[in-house]
Every structure is written in C-alpha cells, then in structure tokens.
C-alpha cells in the first residue's frame, strides 16, 4: 500500500508540474492496444494463452528529452484479476553523433512494475506474495549505419524484485536484446494511396535469469521474435496499427512452445 501511495504521489507531482508549466509544449501519446496473447520477455504472462487490453500514456516533458510513461495490462478473460500489471517508467532519450554514419539514438530509464490487485507480503504463505519489481534499462539504435534503411538495435534490462523476500526474489538478472528493424512501403491498401507503410522487426534475446514470479530461467539464448506492423492514419492525430508476431522459443525454461499472436493499436498523438 505504501508503495502504491508513493508511486501515485510521484505521478501526481509530475502531471501537476506539467500542467502548471507551458501546457502548449506538452506532447505525447495515448494508446490502447489489444493483444490476442500477452507474451512478456518470451513468457506467457497469463495462463491458457490469454490476451489483454493494454492502455498507456506517454508524455514528452517539454522537449527536454525526459519522458514519463504509465502502462497497464488488463487480462481479457476472467480468473486473472490478481494479475493486472501497472508500470511507471521515467526515461531520457536523445541522439549522439547525429551527423555521422554511426549516429546513435538512445533511451535510458527506470521502470517500476506494480500488481495493484495482487496479494501482498505475508498473505500467501512463507515469504509473502508481493511480485512488484524494478528495472533499469538502456535501448540503443543506429539509424544510419546500415544500407537500405535497416536499423540495428541493442537493449539491456536489469531486473530485480522490490522486496527481499518476495516471490520473484530469485528472478533478478539481465536480459540482452539484439535486433534489426526496417520501415518499407508495401502495396497500396487504402483507396487513393500509392503504397502502405510497414515495419518489419526481428530480435533475439539472451536471458540471464530474468522472469516473472515462480519462473526460474536458464542463462541462455531464450527466444527470437519476428513482427510485421502497418499503420493506418485516421487523421493527423489518430492512427490504427495492426500487427502480427511470431516467437521462436529456444529454451523450455522460458517457453515450451512457439507462439503466434496479433495486436491492434489505436494511438492518439497530442
């Protein structure tokens, strides 16, 4: 309860400061995404391959490079009421060597993972049941270094439990992500257009023991994900983006089967 109160106060302070400053310089996105199956770091986040609705708001804090994101995952099916995710992320993003072929975009930050409806310490047997966690991360991309618009990227995530005796206390570790992304023009779909913008992304993950509560991950290459997404602008501010994903699972400690899922996102920019 104390942690939730503290996080709420931080969020209120950030939003309050933003509102009292130059409101016309606040930009960001509001997003609502449906996923037919919620896969997190290669794991099935919910039993029975269930999907979720995942709303979020991301604020660009006055063009400083700092931003703040609140993201939620709510299961579509019943029986997972205690498994709702709520995360808070504070980040900074920028680019260095912008004029060079080795220009690098980066984003670094901190995320707090909260399960507001889940059981807390002491309510689920010895050691408690609090699954809250924290993470530091760095995400890096090189938009000019490869030909044909292919963008290589690397990300690293350091994850640890928020309580020393929590159920996820043995899931502390690092996850390393190596991938490529490419925007391209596909055949026209909408009337009056010459082509349809698309994005293909592929990445593989080395998991160094990161996992949700109750899961013990091997130190190994865990999985690879391939995705294809295509945005459909509704107006200058609103975009609908469907996506298709395939996961090739390498390590049974992460996932015992390959996975397929789809997403549908409605994003409003302001």
* pLDDT per position as a tens digit, 76-101: 876 666 678 899 999 999 999 999 99
3-state secondary structure of 87: strand
The pLDDT-based confidence of 26 (bands split at 50, 70, 90) is: confident
Contact 86, 115 (CB under 8 A): yes
Higher pLDDT, 3 or 133: 133
Q: d(Cα 226, Cα 8) in Å, to the nearest integer?
A: 36
Q: Is the pLDDT of residue 225 over 60?
A: yes
pLDDT, residue 125, reads 33
Task: For residue range 93-128, list pLDDT tens digits in order.
Answer: 999 999 999 999 999 999 999 987 765 543 333 333
* pLDDT reported for residue 3: 52
pLDDT at 14: 52
Predicted pLDDT at 19: 47
Whether 23 is covered by a domain: the verdict is no
* pLDDT, greater one: 160 or 117: 160
Q: Is residue 248 part of a domain?
A: yes
For residues 206-226, average pLDDT = 85
For 99, counting Cβ atoms within 10 Å of its Cβ (0-12 exposed, 13-18 middle, 19+ buried), the class is exposed
Which whole number is the average pLDDT over 17-25?
52
Q: Could you tell me if residue 9 is inside a domain?
A: no
Domain around 207: 28-269
Does any domain span residue 16? no
Which residues are CB-contacts of 168 (< 8 A; sequence separation ≥ 6)? 131, 133, 161, 211, 212, 213, 214
Q: What is the pLDDT of residue 250?
A: 95
**pLDDT exceeds 50 at position 12:** no
Q: Is residue 87 assigned to a domain?
A: yes
In a domain, 180, yes or no: yes
Mean pLDDT to the nearest integer, 242-261: 95
Per the structure, the count of domains in the chain is 1
Of the pLDDT bands very low, low, confident and very high (cuts 50, 70, 90), residue 155 is very high
Helices (H), the chain: 2-20
Q: Is the pLDDT of residue 265 over 60?
A: yes
**pLDDT greater than 80 at residue 66:** yes
User: Mean of the per-residue pLDDT values for the chain?
Assistant: 86
Q: Is the pLDDT of residue 18 over 50?
A: no
Spatial separation of the C-alpha atoms in residues 263 and 34, rounded to whole Å = 5
Residue 210 burial class via C-beta count within 10 angstroms: exposed 0-12, middle 13-18, buried 19 and up: buried
Q: What does the pLDDT read at residue 107?
A: 98
User: What's the confidence (pLDDT) of residue 27?
Assistant: 92
Tell me, yes or no, whether 8 lies in a domain. no
Closest by CA to 51, choosing from 261, 265, 252, is 261
**CA–CA separation, 174 vs 10, rounded Å?**
26
The CATH number for 255's domain is 2.40.160.40
Inside any domain, residue 2: no
């Amino acid at each position: 309860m104390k942690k939730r109160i503290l996080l709420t106060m931080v969020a209120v302070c950030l939003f309050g400061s933003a509102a009292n400053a130059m409101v016309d310089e606040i930009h960001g996105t509001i997003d609502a995404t449906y996923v037919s199956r919620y896969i997190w770091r290669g794991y099935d986040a919910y039993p029975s391959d269930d999907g979720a609705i995942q709303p979020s708001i991301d604020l660009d804090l006055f063009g400083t490079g700092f931003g703040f994101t609140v993201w939620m995952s709510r299961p579509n099916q019943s029986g997972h009421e205690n498994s709702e995710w709520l995360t808070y992320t504070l980040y900074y993003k920028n680019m260095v060597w912008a004029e060079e072929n080795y220009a690098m975009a980066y984003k670094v930050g901190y995320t707090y993972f909260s399960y507001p409806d889940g059981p807390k310490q002491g309510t689920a047997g010895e050691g408690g049941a609090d699954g809250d966690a924290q993470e530091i991360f760095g995400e890096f991309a090189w938009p000019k270094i490869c030909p044909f618009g292919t963008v290589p990227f690397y990300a690293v995530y350091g994850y640890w439990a928020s309580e020393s005796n929590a159920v996820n206390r043995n899931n502390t570790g690092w996850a390393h992500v190596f991938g490529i992304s490419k925007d391209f023009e596909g055949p026209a779909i909408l009337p009056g257009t010459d082509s349809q913008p698309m994005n293909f992304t592929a990445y593989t993950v080395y998991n160094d023991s990161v996992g949700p509560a109750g899961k013990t991950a091997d130190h190994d290459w865990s999985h690879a994900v391939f995705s294809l997404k295509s945005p459909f602008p509704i107006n200058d501010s609103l975009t609908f983006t469907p996506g298709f994903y395939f996961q090739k699972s390498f390590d049974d400690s992460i996932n015992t089967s390959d996975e397929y899922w789809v997403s549908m996102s409605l994003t409003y920019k302001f």
